């Protein structure tokens, strides 16, 4: 029987970047320093090798090394969620099994991309992963990147599968997200199983927490971890006036960290802060010069400069 978790992780979970040297090699020392920064800043969990971590351009050995390094360096100080998604069910199971073997707390598994599975295919894919590996699975629906879109009805079916413990909703649709939260919470009343629900978009995170979600898997937390942690803490405590005040300082970052494809802007901001190199791997290119003043203005608004 797959492991269940008694309650979901709550707060600001960072979809952490993968630091690289100028030649494109992994910069594990910079990653360790980022992890330390998140620990002291109040981040609730590290999500390693997700989209923001450039999972499409790291090879299998690097993927495994990033998960292992993160778990070992976190050393129990902060939860680690390993990105283990793939558009091959067999590969996703293999990555999840590796994450389990090195001590990750959970996996984040994205809707299969490019091959456009049916809703039944999505159900069977995620159920197979949960049944094969004794590691809690958080689903990840991001149709803007995967094309395939997991329907609410499919999510509700999967929420009843042992071992599937949460979802990152990156549809960007607040009304749809609110309805998903409502329906999942109703399902919980019958099953007694607590299901974690996370916004996958920083700009809608506060709205979804007001509707009862558990937090955000965040890009903005890469560059403003304490502010994101504070905003989530206030919202989860019901202090929405306080949460709005913090979120107002972050809103330009929520938008402008996507002036070009993620994680190009986030890495540029981190480099501007002296935290890591701005290097990304092709087909990601350096930030266009015209966006540098835009990001600097967002940084100033959040008092990062």
Pair of tokens at residue 245: 């005040």
Per the residue annotation, which of 168, 198, 267, 279 is the catalytic one? 168
CA distance 36 to 160: 36
Strand, coil or helix: 108: strand
CB 135 within 8 A of CB 96: yes
Which residues, at least 6 apart from 205, have a Cβ–Cβ distance to it below 8 Å? 199, 213, 215, 216, 218, 231, 232, 247
Phi and psi for 197 in degrees, rounded to 5? -130, 125
SS3 content of the chain, % helix, strand, coil (to 5): 50, 15, 35
Using the 8-state DSSP alphabet, how is residue 162 labeled? T
Question: Which residue among 68, 98, 123, 140 is the active-site one?
Answer: 140
**Is residue 98 flagged as an active site residue?**
no
Spatial distance between the Cα atoms of 275 and 221, rounded to a whole number of angstroms: 13
Please say if 140 is a catalytic residue. Answer: yes
Q: What angle do CA 41, 30, 270 make, to 5 degrees?
A: 65
Give the N- to C-terminal CA distance of the chain in Å, as an integer. 50
Residue 175: exposure state from Cβ atoms within 10 A (0-12, 13-18, ≥19): exposed
What whole-number distance in Å separates Cα of residue 158 and Cα of residue 132? Answer: 15
Active site residues: 140, 168
């Amino acid at each position: 029987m797959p492991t269940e978790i008694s309650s979901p992780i709550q707060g600001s979970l960072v979809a952490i970047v993968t630091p690289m040297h100028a030649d494109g090699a992994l910069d594990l020392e910079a990653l360790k320093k980022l992890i330390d920064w998140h620990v002291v800043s109040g981040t609730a969990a590290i999500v390693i090798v997700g989209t923001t971590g450039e999972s499409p351009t790291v090879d299998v050995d690097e993927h495994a090394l990033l998960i292992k390094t993160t778990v070992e360096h976190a050393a129990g100080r902060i939860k680690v969620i390993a990105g283990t998604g793939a558009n091959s069910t067999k590969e996703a199971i293999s990555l999840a099994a590796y994450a389990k073997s090195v001590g990750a707390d959970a996996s984040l598994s994205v809707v299969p991309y490019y091959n456009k599975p049916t809703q039944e295919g999505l159900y069977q894919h995620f159920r197979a992963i949960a049944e094969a590996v004794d590691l809690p699975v958080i689903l990840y629906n991001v149709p803007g990147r995967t094309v395939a879109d997991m329907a609410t009805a499919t999510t509700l079916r999967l929420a009843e599968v042992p071992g599937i413990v949460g979802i990152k909703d990156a549809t960007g649709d607040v009304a749809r997200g609110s309805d998903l939260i409502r329906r999942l919470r109703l399902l919980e009343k019958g099953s007694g199983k607590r299901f974690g629900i996370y916004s996958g978009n920083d700009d809608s995170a506060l709205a979804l927490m007001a509707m009862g979600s558990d937090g955000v898997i965040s890009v903005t937390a890469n560059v403003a971890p304490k502010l994101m942690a504070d905003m989530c803490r206030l919202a989860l405590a019901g202090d929405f006036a306080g949460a709005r005040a913090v979120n107002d300082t972050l809103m330009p970052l929520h938008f402008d960290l996507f002036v070009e494809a993620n994680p190009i802007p986030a890495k540029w901001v981190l480099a501007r802060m002296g935290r890591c190199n701005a290097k990304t791997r092709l087909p990601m290119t350096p930030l266009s010069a015209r966006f540098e003043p835009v990001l600097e203005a967002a940084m100033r608004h959040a008092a990062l400069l």
